[in-house]
Amino acid sequence: MAQPLAALWRRKPIDVATDGKGEHGLHRVIGPFSLIALGVGTTVGAGLFSLTGIAAAQNAGPAVILAFVVAAIACGFAAFCYAELASMIPSAGSAYSYSYAVLGELVAWVIGWDLVLEYTVGAAAVASSWSSYLASILGQWNLHPDPRWMASPMSMVKLPDGSMAHGWINLPAMAAIVFIVMLLLRGISESTRINAVVVVLKLGVVGAFIIFCSPFIKPEHFTPFIPPNTGEFGHFGVSGIMRAAGMIFFAYLGFDIIATTAQEARNPERTMPIGILGSLLICTIIYIAFAFVLTGVVDYRQLEGDGSPVATAIDITHLFWLQGALKFSILFGYISVLMGLMMGQVRVFYAMSHDGLLPAIFGRLSPRTRAPAVSHLIFLVVTCLLAGLVPISVLGNMTSIGTLLAFVLVCVGVLILRIREPNRPRAFRAPGGLFTPVCGILSCLAVMVSLDALTWLRMVVWLIAGLVVYALYGIKKSKLTAEGTTQ
Protein backbone atom coordinates (compact mmCIF):
# COMPACT_ATOMS: atom_id res chain seq x y z
CA MET A 1 0.00 0.00 0.00
CA ALA A 2 2.80 2.39 0.87
CA GLN A 3 4.45 1.92 -2.53
CA PRO A 4 1.40 2.99 -4.62
CA LEU A 5 0.80 5.96 -2.32
CA ALA A 6 4.42 7.03 -2.67
CA ALA A 7 4.04 6.86 -6.44
CA LEU A 8 1.38 9.56 -6.31
CA TRP A 9 3.89 12.12 -5.05
CA ARG A 10 6.94 11.16 -7.12
CA ARG A 11 8.45 14.09 -8.95
CA LYS A 12 10.00 14.44 -12.36
CA PRO A 13 13.54 15.85 -11.89
CA ILE A 14 13.79 19.52 -12.87
CA ASP A 15 17.09 18.87 -14.61
CA VAL A 16 15.66 16.28 -17.02
CA ALA A 17 16.48 17.46 -20.56
CA THR A 18 13.49 19.06 -22.29
CA ASP A 19 15.09 20.69 -25.29
CA GLY A 20 13.01 18.64 -27.72
CA LYS A 21 15.80 18.33 -30.28
CA GLY A 22 15.28 14.66 -30.89
CA GLU A 23 13.60 13.02 -33.80
CA HIS A 24 10.17 13.39 -32.27
CA GLY A 25 10.63 16.84 -30.71
CA LEU A 26 8.77 20.08 -31.38
CA HIS A 27 10.55 22.75 -33.43
CA ARG A 28 12.15 25.70 -31.58
CA VAL A 29 11.05 28.52 -33.88
CA ILE A 30 9.25 31.08 -31.64
CA GLY A 31 11.02 34.31 -30.63
CA PRO A 32 10.09 36.92 -27.95
CA PHE A 33 7.98 39.08 -30.27
CA SER A 34 5.96 36.07 -31.40
CA LEU A 35 5.46 35.03 -27.76
CA ILE A 36 4.10 38.47 -26.83
CA ALA A 37 1.92 38.42 -29.94
CA LEU A 38 0.62 34.97 -28.96
CA GLY A 39 -0.18 36.16 -25.42
CA VAL A 40 -1.86 39.38 -26.56
CA GLY A 41 -3.66 37.60 -29.38
CA THR A 42 -5.12 35.00 -27.03
CA THR A 43 -5.93 37.47 -24.25
CA VAL A 44 -7.62 40.18 -26.31
CA GLY A 45 -10.66 38.23 -27.42
CA ALA A 46 -13.93 36.87 -26.07
CA GLY A 47 -13.24 38.06 -22.52
CA LEU A 48 -12.95 41.61 -23.87
CA PHE A 49 -15.32 41.66 -26.83
CA SER A 50 -18.11 39.57 -25.30
CA LEU A 51 -17.98 38.77 -21.58
CA THR A 52 -17.28 42.39 -20.59
CA GLY A 53 -20.87 43.29 -21.42
CA ILE A 54 -22.35 40.18 -19.83
CA ALA A 55 -20.37 40.68 -16.59
CA ALA A 56 -21.42 44.33 -16.44
CA ALA A 57 -25.11 43.54 -16.98
CA GLN A 58 -25.35 40.56 -14.63
CA ASN A 59 -22.81 41.21 -11.90
CA ALA A 60 -20.94 44.50 -11.58
CA GLY A 61 -22.47 47.31 -13.64
CA PRO A 62 -19.90 50.02 -14.51
CA ALA A 63 -17.69 48.57 -11.75
CA VAL A 64 -16.75 45.84 -14.23
CA ILE A 65 -13.75 48.18 -14.63
CA LEU A 66 -12.77 47.31 -11.05
CA ALA A 67 -13.37 43.64 -11.80
CA PHE A 68 -10.69 43.83 -14.50
CA VAL A 69 -8.37 45.51 -11.98
CA VAL A 70 -9.00 42.75 -9.40
CA ALA A 71 -8.37 40.07 -12.03
CA ALA A 72 -5.22 41.87 -13.22
CA ILE A 73 -3.79 42.07 -9.68
CA ALA A 74 -4.34 38.35 -9.12
CA CYS A 75 -2.90 37.63 -12.56
CA GLY A 76 0.08 39.87 -11.89
CA PHE A 77 1.21 37.79 -8.92
CA ALA A 78 0.60 34.60 -10.88
CA ALA A 79 2.43 35.95 -13.95
CA PHE A 80 5.60 36.60 -11.95
CA CYS A 81 5.42 33.04 -10.64
CA TYR A 82 4.82 31.67 -14.13
CA ALA A 83 7.82 33.61 -15.43
CA GLU A 84 10.08 32.22 -12.69
CA LEU A 85 9.05 28.60 -13.28
CA ALA A 86 9.09 28.97 -17.06
CA SER A 87 12.70 30.17 -16.89
CA MET A 88 13.63 27.15 -14.72
CA ILE A 89 11.55 24.47 -16.45
CA PRO A 90 11.30 25.35 -20.17
CA SER A 91 9.03 22.45 -21.06
CA ALA A 92 5.80 22.08 -22.99
CA GLY A 93 2.80 21.69 -20.70
CA SER A 94 2.85 24.93 -18.68
CA ALA A 95 1.52 24.45 -15.13
CA TYR A 96 1.35 20.69 -15.68
CA SER A 97 5.12 20.43 -16.22
CA TYR A 98 5.84 22.78 -13.31
CA SER A 99 3.62 20.78 -10.95
CA TYR A 100 5.21 17.49 -12.04
CA ALA A 101 8.66 18.78 -11.11
CA VAL A 102 7.65 20.45 -7.84
CA LEU A 103 4.43 18.98 -6.40
CA GLY A 104 4.40 15.42 -7.70
CA GLU A 105 2.65 13.24 -10.27
CA LEU A 106 -0.86 13.27 -8.81
CA VAL A 107 -1.05 17.07 -8.64
CA ALA A 108 0.49 17.26 -12.11
CA TRP A 109 -2.19 14.96 -13.47
CA VAL A 110 -4.96 17.02 -11.83
CA ILE A 111 -3.66 20.30 -13.24
CA GLY A 112 -2.97 18.82 -16.67
CA TRP A 113 -6.51 17.46 -16.85
CA ASP A 114 -7.78 20.83 -15.59
CA LEU A 115 -5.77 22.78 -18.19
CA VAL A 116 -7.29 20.77 -21.01
CA LEU A 117 -10.76 21.66 -19.68
CA GLU A 118 -9.68 25.30 -19.46
CA TYR A 119 -8.41 25.52 -23.05
CA THR A 120 -11.14 23.40 -24.62
CA VAL A 121 -14.03 25.20 -22.96
CA GLY A 122 -12.30 28.55 -23.52
CA ALA A 123 -12.04 27.86 -27.24
CA ALA A 124 -15.72 26.96 -27.33
CA ALA A 125 -16.60 30.23 -25.54
CA VAL A 126 -14.56 32.25 -28.03
CA ALA A 127 -16.17 30.49 -30.98
CA SER A 128 -19.62 31.22 -29.50
CA SER A 129 -18.74 34.91 -29.20
CA TRP A 130 -17.46 34.89 -32.79
CA SER A 131 -20.84 33.58 -33.89
CA SER A 132 -22.59 36.53 -32.18
CA TYR A 133 -20.46 39.03 -34.07
CA LEU A 134 -21.08 37.18 -37.32
CA ALA A 135 -24.83 37.49 -36.74
CA SER A 136 -24.41 41.23 -36.17
CA ILE A 137 -22.49 41.68 -39.43
CA LEU A 138 -24.98 39.60 -41.42
CA GLY A 139 -27.80 41.71 -40.01
CA GLN A 140 -26.01 44.85 -41.12
CA TRP A 141 -25.95 43.40 -44.65
CA ASN A 142 -29.69 42.61 -44.39
CA LEU A 143 -28.97 38.89 -44.20
CA HIS A 144 -31.00 37.16 -41.51
CA PRO A 145 -30.40 33.41 -41.22
CA ASP A 146 -32.59 31.48 -38.83
CA PRO A 147 -31.16 32.44 -35.38
CA ARG A 148 -31.82 28.94 -34.09
CA TRP A 149 -28.89 27.72 -36.19
CA MET A 150 -26.63 30.28 -34.42
CA ALA A 151 -27.44 29.50 -30.77
CA SER A 152 -27.17 26.58 -28.36
CA PRO A 153 -30.25 24.57 -27.30
CA MET A 154 -29.93 26.14 -23.82
CA SER A 155 -30.20 29.69 -25.22
CA MET A 156 -33.33 31.65 -26.13
CA VAL A 157 -33.41 33.55 -29.43
CA LYS A 158 -35.84 36.03 -30.96
CA LEU A 159 -37.46 34.83 -34.18
CA PRO A 160 -38.41 37.16 -37.07
CA ASP A 161 -42.08 37.15 -35.96
CA GLY A 162 -41.07 38.45 -32.53
CA SER A 163 -41.59 35.20 -30.63
CA MET A 164 -38.91 33.54 -28.50
CA ALA A 165 -37.60 30.02 -29.03
CA HIS A 166 -34.75 27.74 -27.97
CA GLY A 167 -31.73 27.59 -30.25
CA TRP A 168 -30.91 24.41 -32.15
CA ILE A 169 -27.13 24.39 -32.59
CA ASN A 170 -24.46 27.05 -33.07
CA LEU A 171 -23.18 26.09 -36.52
CA PRO A 172 -20.97 29.18 -37.15
CA ALA A 173 -19.11 28.54 -33.88
CA MET A 174 -18.41 24.98 -34.94
CA ALA A 175 -17.22 26.14 -38.38
CA ALA A 176 -14.76 28.56 -36.74
CA ILE A 177 -13.22 25.71 -34.74
CA VAL A 178 -12.81 23.57 -37.86
CA PHE A 179 -11.09 26.43 -39.71
CA ILE A 180 -8.58 27.06 -36.90
CA VAL A 181 -7.66 23.40 -36.53
CA MET A 182 -7.03 23.12 -40.27
CA LEU A 183 -4.74 26.14 -39.96
CA LEU A 184 -2.82 24.70 -36.99
CA LEU A 185 -2.26 21.43 -38.83
CA ARG A 186 -0.04 23.39 -41.23
CA GLY A 187 2.56 23.83 -38.44
CA ILE A 188 3.58 26.21 -35.64
CA SER A 189 5.88 28.45 -37.69
CA GLU A 190 3.27 29.43 -40.23
CA SER A 191 0.58 29.72 -37.55
CA THR A 192 2.59 32.22 -35.48
CA ARG A 193 3.26 34.41 -38.52
CA ILE A 194 -0.45 34.61 -39.28
CA ASN A 195 -1.13 35.26 -35.60
CA ALA A 196 1.25 38.25 -35.53
CA VAL A 197 -0.57 39.88 -38.46
CA VAL A 198 -3.97 39.30 -36.84
CA VAL A 199 -2.78 40.75 -33.51
CA VAL A 200 -1.65 44.00 -35.15
CA LEU A 201 -5.07 44.27 -36.81
CA LYS A 202 -6.86 43.51 -33.55
CA LEU A 203 -4.97 46.13 -31.55
CA GLY A 204 -5.84 48.65 -34.24
CA VAL A 205 -9.52 47.74 -33.82
CA VAL A 206 -9.43 48.16 -30.04
CA GLY A 207 -7.56 51.46 -30.38
CA ALA A 208 -10.10 52.75 -32.91
CA PHE A 209 -13.00 51.76 -30.64
CA ILE A 210 -11.47 53.57 -27.65
CA ILE A 211 -10.54 56.71 -29.59
CA PHE A 212 -13.67 57.20 -31.71
CA CYS A 213 -16.27 56.08 -29.13
CA SER A 214 -14.84 58.09 -26.21
CA PRO A 215 -16.66 61.33 -27.22
CA PHE A 216 -19.98 59.47 -26.81
CA ILE A 217 -19.39 58.58 -23.15
CA LYS A 218 -22.25 59.72 -20.92
CA PRO A 219 -21.25 60.39 -17.27
CA GLU A 220 -24.72 59.32 -16.07
CA HIS A 221 -23.93 55.77 -17.19
CA PHE A 222 -21.39 55.58 -14.36
CA THR A 223 -24.03 56.37 -11.71
CA PRO A 224 -24.20 54.38 -9.56
CA PHE A 225 -20.70 53.15 -10.31
CA ILE A 226 -21.22 50.15 -8.03
CA PRO A 227 -24.94 49.24 -8.21
CA PRO A 228 -26.34 48.11 -4.84
CA ASN A 229 -26.45 44.39 -4.20
CA THR A 230 -29.81 42.79 -4.94
CA GLY A 231 -29.62 40.58 -1.86
CA GLU A 232 -28.08 37.69 -3.76
CA PHE A 233 -24.32 37.05 -3.69
CA GLY A 234 -22.70 38.01 -6.99
CA HIS A 235 -25.47 40.30 -8.21
CA PHE A 236 -23.91 43.76 -7.94
CA GLY A 237 -22.23 45.33 -4.94
CA VAL A 238 -18.76 44.15 -3.88
CA SER A 239 -19.68 40.50 -4.34
CA GLY A 240 -20.78 41.34 -7.89
CA ILE A 241 -17.36 42.79 -8.65
CA MET A 242 -15.71 39.61 -7.40
CA ARG A 243 -18.15 37.41 -9.36
CA ALA A 244 -17.46 39.47 -12.51
CA ALA A 245 -13.71 39.13 -11.92
CA GLY A 246 -14.19 35.38 -11.79
CA MET A 247 -16.25 35.32 -14.98
CA ILE A 248 -13.77 37.39 -17.01
CA PHE A 249 -10.67 35.83 -15.47
CA PHE A 250 -10.19 33.47 -18.37
CA ALA A 251 -9.59 36.56 -20.52
CA TYR A 252 -6.14 36.72 -18.95
CA LEU A 253 -5.06 33.17 -19.76
CA GLY A 254 -2.88 34.35 -22.65
CA PHE A 255 0.32 34.10 -20.66
CA ASP A 256 -0.61 30.57 -19.62
CA ILE A 257 -0.80 29.74 -23.32
CA ILE A 258 2.70 31.19 -23.74
CA ALA A 259 3.99 28.79 -21.10
CA THR A 260 2.67 25.79 -23.05
CA THR A 261 4.95 26.70 -25.99
CA ALA A 262 8.20 26.69 -23.98
CA GLN A 263 9.50 23.69 -25.91
CA GLU A 264 9.02 25.59 -29.17
CA ALA A 265 10.61 28.86 -28.01
CA ARG A 266 14.13 29.95 -28.84
CA ASN A 267 16.22 30.56 -25.68
CA PRO A 268 13.19 29.96 -23.42
CA GLU A 269 14.99 30.89 -20.20
CA ARG A 270 15.12 34.50 -21.45
CA THR A 271 12.19 34.77 -23.85
CA MET A 272 9.48 33.16 -21.67
CA PRO A 273 9.53 35.87 -18.92
CA ILE A 274 9.55 38.57 -21.62
CA GLY A 275 6.52 37.04 -23.32
CA ILE A 276 4.56 36.39 -20.13
CA LEU A 277 5.06 39.73 -18.38
CA GLY A 278 5.00 41.81 -21.58
CA SER A 279 1.67 40.40 -22.76
CA LEU A 280 0.06 40.81 -19.32
CA LEU A 281 1.08 44.49 -19.06
CA ILE A 282 -0.21 45.34 -22.54
CA CYS A 283 -3.50 43.51 -22.06
CA THR A 284 -4.25 44.98 -18.62
CA ILE A 285 -4.02 48.52 -20.00
CA ILE A 286 -6.22 47.60 -22.97
CA TYR A 287 -8.88 45.89 -20.82
CA ILE A 288 -9.33 48.74 -18.35
CA ALA A 289 -9.55 51.38 -21.10
CA PHE A 290 -11.97 49.26 -23.12
CA ALA A 291 -14.30 48.57 -20.16
CA PHE A 292 -14.35 52.28 -19.29
CA VAL A 293 -15.42 53.31 -22.79
CA LEU A 294 -17.94 50.48 -23.23
CA THR A 295 -19.82 51.12 -19.97
CA GLY A 296 -19.65 54.85 -20.61
CA VAL A 297 -21.25 54.58 -24.04
CA VAL A 298 -23.82 51.84 -23.27
CA ASP A 299 -25.99 51.69 -20.16
CA TYR A 300 -24.96 48.41 -18.54
CA ARG A 301 -28.63 47.34 -18.30
CA GLN A 302 -28.76 47.18 -22.11
CA LEU A 303 -25.99 44.58 -22.19
CA GLU A 304 -27.99 41.74 -20.61
CA GLY A 305 -27.28 38.60 -22.63
CA ASP A 306 -25.42 40.62 -25.28
CA GLY A 307 -22.67 38.49 -26.85
CA SER A 308 -21.44 41.34 -29.04
CA PRO A 309 -21.31 44.53 -26.90
CA VAL A 310 -18.87 46.31 -29.21
CA ALA A 311 -21.41 46.03 -32.02
CA THR A 312 -24.07 47.44 -29.66
CA ALA A 313 -21.85 50.38 -28.67
CA ILE A 314 -21.01 51.21 -32.27
CA ASP A 315 -24.70 51.07 -33.24
CA ILE A 316 -25.50 53.57 -30.46
CA THR A 317 -22.81 56.01 -31.65
CA HIS A 318 -24.15 55.92 -35.24
CA LEU A 319 -20.59 55.89 -36.54
CA PHE A 320 -21.76 54.08 -39.64
CA TRP A 321 -18.46 54.61 -41.45
CA LEU A 322 -16.73 52.80 -38.61
CA GLN A 323 -19.09 50.04 -37.56
CA GLY A 324 -18.68 47.73 -40.55
CA ALA A 325 -14.89 47.83 -40.50
CA LEU A 326 -14.70 47.34 -36.73
CA LYS A 327 -17.15 44.45 -36.63
CA PHE A 328 -15.42 42.69 -39.50
CA SER A 329 -11.98 43.26 -37.95
CA ILE A 330 -13.13 41.87 -34.60
CA LEU A 331 -14.53 38.84 -36.39
CA PHE A 332 -11.19 38.31 -38.13
CA GLY A 333 -9.26 39.03 -34.94
CA TYR A 334 -10.80 36.08 -33.14
CA ILE A 335 -8.53 33.86 -35.22
CA SER A 336 -5.58 34.56 -32.90
CA VAL A 337 -7.59 33.77 -29.77
CA LEU A 338 -8.83 30.46 -31.07
CA MET A 339 -5.40 29.65 -32.40
CA GLY A 340 -3.77 30.14 -29.00
CA LEU A 341 -6.38 28.11 -27.13
CA MET A 342 -6.44 25.23 -29.60
CA MET A 343 -2.63 25.23 -29.61
CA GLY A 344 -2.44 25.13 -25.80
CA GLN A 345 -4.81 22.21 -25.27
CA VAL A 346 -2.95 19.79 -27.50
CA ARG A 347 0.45 20.75 -26.12
CA VAL A 348 -0.60 19.90 -22.59
CA PHE A 349 -1.77 16.46 -23.76
CA TYR A 350 1.46 16.18 -25.77
CA ALA A 351 3.48 16.69 -22.58
CA MET A 352 1.32 14.24 -20.61
CA SER A 353 1.64 11.65 -23.37
CA HIS A 354 5.40 12.17 -23.49
CA ASP A 355 5.50 11.34 -19.76
CA GLY A 356 3.44 8.17 -20.31
CA LEU A 357 0.36 9.42 -18.44
CA LEU A 358 -1.74 9.35 -21.61
CA PRO A 359 -1.65 7.06 -24.67
CA ALA A 360 1.17 7.69 -27.14
CA ILE A 361 -1.31 8.76 -29.82
CA PHE A 362 -1.60 12.20 -28.14
CA GLY A 363 2.12 12.72 -28.59
CA ARG A 364 2.27 11.64 -32.24
CA LEU A 365 3.59 14.41 -34.51
CA SER A 366 3.11 14.94 -38.21
CA PRO A 367 6.37 13.97 -40.01
CA ARG A 368 6.16 17.07 -42.21
CA THR A 369 4.88 19.89 -39.95
CA ARG A 370 5.82 18.43 -36.51
CA ALA A 371 2.30 19.35 -35.33
CA PRO A 372 0.41 16.99 -32.96
CA ALA A 373 -2.10 16.21 -35.70
CA VAL A 374 -4.06 13.40 -34.03
CA SER A 375 -4.64 15.43 -30.86
CA HIS A 376 -5.83 18.37 -32.93
CA LEU A 377 -8.42 16.21 -34.67
CA ILE A 378 -9.65 14.64 -31.43
CA PHE A 379 -10.09 18.05 -29.79
CA LEU A 380 -11.73 19.34 -32.95
CA VAL A 381 -14.68 17.03 -32.28
CA VAL A 382 -14.92 17.77 -28.54
CA THR A 383 -14.62 21.56 -28.89
CA CYS A 384 -17.14 21.66 -31.74
CA LEU A 385 -19.72 19.90 -29.60
CA LEU A 386 -19.22 22.35 -26.72
CA ALA A 387 -19.31 25.39 -29.00
CA GLY A 388 -22.44 24.19 -30.72
CA LEU A 389 -24.45 23.07 -27.68
CA VAL A 390 -23.44 25.16 -24.61
CA PRO A 391 -24.12 28.93 -24.09
CA ILE A 392 -21.20 31.34 -23.69
CA SER A 393 -21.98 32.41 -20.09
CA VAL A 394 -21.64 28.79 -18.88
CA LEU A 395 -18.48 28.27 -20.93
CA GLY A 396 -16.89 31.45 -19.55
CA ASN A 397 -17.32 30.45 -15.91
CA MET A 398 -16.01 26.93 -16.54
CA THR A 399 -12.88 28.33 -18.20
CA SER A 400 -12.23 30.84 -15.42
CA ILE A 401 -12.24 28.30 -12.59
CA GLY A 402 -9.79 26.10 -14.50
CA THR A 403 -7.50 29.07 -15.09
CA LEU A 404 -7.61 30.07 -11.43
CA LEU A 405 -6.76 26.56 -10.22
CA ALA A 406 -3.75 26.48 -12.55
CA PHE A 407 -2.58 29.87 -11.25
CA VAL A 408 -2.89 28.75 -7.62
CA LEU A 409 -0.76 25.64 -8.19
CA VAL A 410 1.92 27.60 -10.06
CA CYS A 411 2.17 30.02 -7.13
CA VAL A 412 2.34 27.08 -4.71
CA GLY A 413 5.14 25.61 -6.81
CA VAL A 414 7.22 28.79 -6.60
CA LEU A 415 6.64 28.98 -2.84
CA ILE A 416 7.77 25.38 -2.29
CA LEU A 417 10.86 25.72 -4.50
CA ARG A 418 11.87 28.95 -2.73
CA ILE A 419 11.85 27.05 0.57
CA ARG A 420 13.10 23.65 -0.61
CA GLU A 421 15.75 24.77 -3.10
CA PRO A 422 16.55 28.43 -2.42
CA ASN A 423 19.95 28.26 -4.15
CA ARG A 424 18.82 26.65 -7.41
CA PRO A 425 19.75 28.91 -10.35
CA ARG A 426 16.86 31.00 -11.64
CA ALA A 427 17.14 32.86 -14.95
CA PHE A 428 14.27 35.04 -13.68
CA ARG A 429 13.30 35.55 -10.05
CA ALA A 430 9.86 36.94 -9.14
CA PRO A 431 10.30 40.07 -6.98
CA GLY A 432 9.02 40.33 -3.42
CA GLY A 433 10.40 37.11 -1.98
CA LEU A 434 7.70 34.82 -0.56
CA PHE A 435 5.21 37.72 -0.59
CA THR A 436 4.49 37.35 -4.32
CA PRO A 437 3.52 33.64 -4.42
CA VAL A 438 1.53 33.92 -1.17
CA CYS A 439 -0.44 36.89 -2.52
CA GLY A 440 -0.95 35.04 -5.79
CA ILE A 441 -2.43 32.06 -3.94
CA LEU A 442 -4.73 34.17 -1.75
CA SER A 443 -5.96 36.48 -4.50
CA CYS A 444 -6.73 33.67 -6.93
CA LEU A 445 -8.50 31.66 -4.22
CA ALA A 446 -10.59 34.73 -3.35
CA VAL A 447 -11.78 35.01 -6.94
CA MET A 448 -12.43 31.24 -7.12
CA VAL A 449 -14.64 31.37 -4.04
CA SER A 450 -16.79 34.04 -5.71
CA LEU A 451 -17.81 31.71 -8.56
CA ASP A 452 -21.18 29.99 -8.36
CA ALA A 453 -21.74 26.51 -6.94
CA LEU A 454 -22.73 25.00 -10.31
CA THR A 455 -19.38 26.02 -11.79
CA TRP A 456 -17.58 24.34 -8.89
CA LEU A 457 -19.70 21.22 -9.36
CA ARG A 458 -18.82 20.98 -13.06
CA MET A 459 -15.12 21.25 -12.26
CA VAL A 460 -15.32 18.60 -9.51
CA VAL A 461 -17.10 16.18 -11.86
CA TRP A 462 -14.45 16.76 -14.54
CA LEU A 463 -11.60 16.23 -12.06
CA ILE A 464 -13.19 13.02 -10.71
CA ALA A 465 -13.41 11.70 -14.26
CA GLY A 466 -9.73 12.56 -14.69
CA LEU A 467 -8.75 10.71 -11.52
CA VAL A 468 -10.54 7.62 -12.80
CA VAL A 469 -8.50 7.79 -16.03
CA TYR A 470 -5.31 8.26 -14.01
CA ALA A 471 -6.08 5.29 -11.77
CA LEU A 472 -6.89 3.02 -14.70
CA TYR A 473 -4.10 4.12 -17.03
CA GLY A 474 -1.76 6.93 -16.02
CA ILE A 475 -0.30 5.60 -12.79
CA LYS A 476 0.52 2.25 -14.45
CA LYS A 477 1.93 3.62 -17.72
CA SER A 478 3.88 6.55 -16.29
CA LYS A 479 7.51 6.64 -17.39
CA LEU A 480 8.45 7.11 -13.74
CA THR A 481 6.79 3.75 -13.03
CA ALA A 482 8.91 2.12 -15.73
CA GLU A 483 12.00 3.72 -14.23
CA GLY A 484 11.06 2.63 -10.71
CA THR A 485 11.01 6.22 -9.44
CA THR A 486 9.05 6.83 -6.22
CA GLN A 487 10.21 10.30 -5.28
pLDDT digits 0-9 by tens, 344-376 = 778 788 888 888 888 888 877 776 666 777 888
Measured over the CA atoms of residue 321, residue 322, residue 323 and residue 326, the dihedral's sign is: positive
pLDDT of residue 437: 92
Using alpha carbons, list the distances in angstroms from residue 122 to 114, 236, 392, 401: 12, 25, 9, 11
In angstroms, the CA 84 to CA 442 distance is 19
Instruction: Specify the amino acid at residue 462.
Output: W
- Segment 176-191 mean pLDDT: 76
Neighbours of 12 (CB within 10 A): 22
Summarised one tens digit per residue, pLDDT across range 289-348 is 988 998 899 888 887 766 667 777 877 887 767 777 777 777 777 777 787 778 777 878
In angstroms, the CA 150 to CA 135 distance is 8
Summarised one tens digit per residue, pLDDT across range 6-31 is 667 777 776 553 444 433 445 555 66
In angstroms, the CA 300 to CA 290 distance is 14
Half-sphere exposure of 340 (CA within 13 A, CB side): 34
pLDDT of residue 261: 66
Query: pLDDT band for position 203 (50/70/90)?
Result: confident
382 contacts: CB under 8 Å, gap ≥ 6: 120
In angstroms, the CA 168 to CA 205 distance is 32
Measured in whole angstroms, the distance separating CA 486 from the mean position of its chain's CA atoms is 33
Residue 153: asked if its preceding bond is cis (omega within 30°), the reply is: no
For the chain, percent of residues with pLDDT exceeding 70: 81
Instruction: Specify the amino acid at residue 71.
Output: A
pLDDT of residue 20: 45
**Helices marked H in 56-170:** 64-88, 95-102, 105-140
Half-sphere exposure of 419 (CA within 13 A, CB side): 11
Q: Is the pLDDT of residue 169 over 50?
A: yes
Element (H, E) at 358: none
